[in-house]
Amino acid sequence: MYNYRVATVWGIPIKVNISLVVFLPVLAWIIGGTGQIELYAGLVEVVSGVPLDVETLQAGNNGFVLGALAAIGLFASVTVHELGHAAAARRYGIETSAITLWILGGLASLERLPKEPGRELVIALAGPAASVVTGIACYAALFVVPASAPSVVFVLGFLAITNVTLTVFNLLPAFPMDGGRVLRAFLARSRPYVDATRIAARVGVMFAILFALVGLFGGAPMLLLLALFVYSAANGESRVVALEGMLDGFLVKDVVDRDRPTVDADVTLDAFAQRVLDDRVDHHVVRDRGGRVIGLVGLDALREHGRDTGTLVGDVATTDLPTVDLTTPAFDALREMDKVEYAFVTDGTDVVGIVEREDFASLLELTGLSQRDRFAQ
């Protein structure tokens, strides 16, 4: 929500979230206006061996300009980090739908996550590797830039230090950060993927608690935000992977309710209302005179139009539903229906029915009962 596309790299949209738009000036002020320039200038001197005049760097508006350049450079580095993930994923045929920069860094939205431990390991490490290369490149540039350009030396030194520092931090096994994904990849070598995710998520929650404590008692509000993100993301991905595991091996044809009540498109709403009372089912599949499925109609149509004897079901039926195929894996179909309750089901050519999210819930309930019975035996 509130993401703005600012560029495209390798066909991947680069988006900036509103949180970063608000935070970037604050970060620029933190770097350039709160004494941080003196701290980083000292570190850059140690790294580069080039003496920096702090008073010159802070004179007039120089501090805020340097802070802005450093902040923009930092998030440009984050973009390179995420492109590292995207490049490694593309190597395995996995595309990236977008890279989003936000207040806590960046997110590369992969179309799917690899289940092979080796591939996940490569993709997870590709981002930190890109950051290390960026840091080394900035460090090498320090020996090319003349000492007469202290502002450039400062920004390059800042980026060299922060890229390496953030890489080390990002490799902490706090799932779903990169280090957490590395941990899952190693765990998945010797145990089921769902179990590996569950363990990595628990480790992530432990780190989230640690981040929260340090942020609370150390006066670091950004760590509190990171703790909230790690906690919610770790638990969320653990649930998604568990759900995928339960639906593994099932297709849409195993989920769809073929006995869902139907109604002809040329039936009046008044007659449909009586049908609802008789069937005790609010939503009905709508078919045309040829028997083809053309849409879905429910109580919402009756609420909007009433029991109008002059209005036909076909006139008010919902016909713009997404489409899934009978042979689509159940989990993939459920993911495609993320924001809708119903979808058309096709046999590859014609629409043959409608599937509901509740159908997946019924299958999951049966699967859960089956697993418990098998465990009891």
Strand ranges for 302-362 from DSSP E: 323-325, 342-346, 351-356
Q: Are 205 and 199 in contact (CB under 8 A)?
A: no
Geometric angle at alpha carbon 110, from 334 and 340, rounded to 5°: 25
Q: Which amino acid, 184?
A: R
CB 142 within 8 A of CB 153: yes
172, 179 contact by CB (below 8 A)? yes
283 is in an annotated binding site: no
* Catalytic option among 38, 45, 82, 244: 82
CB 164 within 8 A of CB 132: yes
The answer to whether residues 287 and 265 touch, using CB atoms and an 8 Å cutoff, is: yes
Q: Which of 133, 139, 145 is nearest to 161 (CA)?
A: 139
Helices 18-33 and 62-91: angle between axes, nearest 10 degrees: 130
> Residue 305 and residue 269: Cα distance in Å, rounded?
8
82 catalytic? Reply is yes
Run of H or E residues at 284? strand 284-287
Q: Is 305 annotated as a binding residue?
A: no
Q: Is 284 flagged in the annotation as binding?
A: no
Residue ranges of E strands in 61-197? 96-102, 105-110
Contact 347, 293 (CB under 8 A): no
Q: CA dist 333 to 40, 64, 338, 342, 357, Å?
A: 50, 50, 9, 11, 10
Query: Could you give the residue numbers annotated as active site?
Result: 82
Q: Annotated binding site, which residues?
A: 81, 85, 178
Q: Annotated binding site for Zn(2+), which residues?
A: 81, 85, 178
